[in-house]
Structure 1
Amino acid sequence: MTPFAIAGIQMHVDALHSNVDAMLHRVDILMARFPWTQMAVFSELAAHGPLHRFAKPFPNDDIARFQEKARKHKLWLIPGSMFETKPDGRILNSSVVIDPDGNIVAKYSKMFPFRPYEEGISAGNEFCIFDVPEVGRFGLSICYDIWFPETTRQLTSQGVEVLLHPVLTGTADREAEIAIARATAAQFQCYVVDVNGLGSGGVGRSLVVDPSAMVLHQSAGQDDMFPIEIDLDQVRRQREFGLKGLGQVLKSFRDREVNFPIYDPSSGSDAYLRALGPLETPKQGSLAGLSAADPRTMLEEAEEKAIANWHRETG
């Protein structure tokens, strides 16, 4: 058995004032109540809330305070995320991983901002993988990233056994996100630690899922801190032996006999996707999709345009 104790911290997030003091206080409470905890994870944008006008460059004084707290408690700490300003003016939704010595060992910027709603936020393009010595390999994604299985595929193909997933979901799609968290755990044979906030930080209902898609803990709609001891040997056993001795998903993907043309931009297999309307916020009375042509017609039209463009370019 390779046990490791991870605590999610689900807390109220204020949109207009810093939440850093409250986060640090909760870490102290967590370690007083559950001193066996080895890692703590907060929700997306927990530190300063969902308004990017509070963005600041990395590193900064708030991150330094989290580093000091991790060092004090000898704790791995993922303080959710915060908006980061870059020298070129871009704003990213970024998180750091702090080790028990207070060092920043990894940094991650959200790859899929929740567009079209998260306007003005740029996407990251580097994956986040880090090792906890003598325990296992961990990966980090943020909120909407998990809706795109390619992100988790990349992480688990490099050996990630635990997906840490801070979220800020305060909308009606939280039920779907919970289903996706469970499906992700089963598809990629990993633990998923999904931490949501409260108030301006979400509707709660954080959860921890094991590699068989079993929910080990699910919070309700109030403040919660939930240390769960996971067993990394369960991941390794299931990846070799299969889910309940059945599907060996990662090995089946490795041994696949097909390459997927959709991932080759020059293949033209994404013609239907290109024929869909613009990525924009719905408006009152919108009939988007209701008056659209049959997908087969849309595909034929897109293919005809592609052929016509090719003829024009080649003369």
Structure 2
Amino acid sequence: MTHFAIAGIQMSVGMQNNIQAMRSRLDVLMHVYPWVEMVLFSELAASGPNHASAQPMGGEFETEFQDMARKHGIWLIPGSIFEERDGLIYNTTPVINPNGEIVTRYRKMFPFTPYEQGTTPGAEFCVFDVPEVGRFGVSICYDLWFPEVSRTMVAMGAEVILNPVLASFVDRPADLAIAQATGAMFQCYVFHINGIHAGGNGYSTVVDPAGRIIHRGSVGEELIPIDVDLGELRRQRQQGLLNMGQPLKSFRDSSVEFRVYKPDFDRSYLNSLGPLEKPDRAVRTAQVTCQ
């Protein structure tokens, strides 16, 4: 069996520099749970949804994160930050190893358009290996709504999907259902970690490879340490989810050609849905009756 300890931190996020608060929460986590080996914060935990905080790669935020990882000797996925690059802004997650080295970065593929205006989509999938443990994939918030992202990472070998989120809208129950379904469909662990206040409305969720909820959070600050069993995950991928469905192998062995992804697919229905923009208030004509 291969066990690995991952902790999510659900914390209050403001629209300012939250680095010291992140450092403080991490210090507490590692004091109480010194066996934790990887820590995941929520999306944009460092500064909230504030484009003015954008920094280039290797900026102050990343330097601070590297110091935190090095201090505690942990893998650190510090949520995400706004990254300024070639005149564009990306929503970017750095992945930092226990030596404080940035091993990769992931740029959010599906910004929450039209609400997340001004953020440029990324175009590269992100998986990375923890030596002698397993392979991990990173997606950010709304990316989880697009199963193609999770399917691609799992097909690349990802066993755990790390999904920092900033979610506070009325569709939050759908987020949670999608996180649970992702665990079952792709036989993987899902760490769906939200913030509170400017960082979201909480309810961070951790799902196992059978789609079972290991942890469902509340609306307050939480430390969420989970010991995952990658040996059990691999057994379920080989023998079936709870010895039943084997969706990864069924997909692998299917001869169906999914033409929806082909450039010549008829997109007339999709195009008929109109532009991707915020819905507006309905225009109503007042009816006046004179007697």
TM-score, normalising length: structure 1 = 0.89
Map 1:223-302 → 2, pairs under 5 A? 223-268=221-266, 270-285=267-282
Which residue is equivalent to 1:35?
A: 34
Q: Within 1, Cα distance between the matches of 2:141 and 2:283?
A: 27
- Matched with 1:313 is none
Q: Equivalent residue of 1:94, what SS?
A: strand
Match of 1:310 in 2: none
1:108 aligns with 2:121: no
CA shift at 1:274, angstroms?
1.5
- Corresponding residue number in structure 2 for 1:141: 139
Cα distance in structure 2, aligned partners of 1:119 and 1:74: 36
Q: Which runs of structure 2 are paired with 1:58-207 in the superposition (5 Å)?
A: 58-87=57-86, 89-207=87-205
Q: CA deviation at 1:245?
A: 1.1
In structure 2, what residue type is equivalent to 1:277?
G
Change in 2 beyond 3 A, CA 1:189/1:284? same
CA distance in 2, matches of 1:159, 1:9: 25
Amino acid corresponding to residue 97 of structure 1 in structure 2? V
Q: 1:244 Cα deviation (Å)?
A: 1.4
Any idea what SS the aligned residue of 1:244 has? helix
SS in 2 for 1:71: helix
Deviations 1:204-257 (A, max 9, x none): 000110011111111100000110000001211111100111111000000002
Q: Which amino acid aligns with 2:273?
A: L
CA distance in 2, matches of 1:285, 1:260: 38
How far does residue 120 in structure 1 lie from its aligned partner after superposition? 1.1
Q: CA RMSD in A?
A: 1.0
Residue 6 of structure 1 corresponds to 6
User: Of the candidates 210, 214, 223, which is equivalent to residue 216 of structure 1?
Assistant: 214
Query: CA separation in 2, counterparts of 1:174 and 1:151?
Result: 20
Equivalent position of 1:56 in the other structure:
55
Deviation at 1:271, TM superposition (A): 2.2
Tell me how far 1:91 sits from its aligned partner: 0.6
The one-letter amino acid paired with 2:14 is D
Once the two structures are TM-superposed, the CA of residue 267 in structure 1 deviates from its matched residue by 2.6
Structure 2 distance, partners of 1:244, 1:69, is 38
Amino acid corresponding to residue 3 of structure 2 in structure 1: P
> In structure 1, what is the Cα distance between the partners aligned to 2:282 and 2:81?
35
Correspondence for 1:296:
none
| Bigger Cα Rg | 1
Letter in 1 for 2:274: G
**Is the deviation greater in 72-81 or in 278-287?**
278-287
Asked if 1:26 is matched to 2:25, the reply is yes
5+ long unaligned stretches in structure 1: 288-315
Query: What is the SS of the residue equivalent to 2:46?
Result: coil
TM-fit CA distance, 1:275: 1.6
Counterpart residue identity of residue 237, structure 1: R
